[in-house]
Structure 1
């Protein structure tokens, strides 16, 4: 277990499906080229996770964040 930032994100799947709003949760380390400090609401990122079809490689906007242990 370790402490990280978990994000709620909105993104359009790479499969062309309808946009996904406020998906919970994507962790900091699952963001492409993540920086050391946490992202802020409104920041644009690329997701490197496959929790759902079309998520990996999708551009997303950070909706909110929460410090947590995973």
Structure 2
């Protein structure tokens, strides 16, 4: 399995798992609609990662992008 940080700009994938080591981050991601089974698209990877989930675009740092696992 790879993470959002490993995706190329413009790629789409399905979220398969979230890194459960940091519960605060997991709760924030889930509140934003980033949940297992959702489709995600990487819009931008520099200077920060911008992902699109549904109709929502979210800017995240590399640590968070590395904790979202996709297929």
TM-score by length of 2: 0.33
Larger-Rg structure:
1
Structure with the higher fraction of residues in strand conformation: 1
Structure with the higher fraction of residues in helix conformation: 2
TM-score by length of 1: 0.34
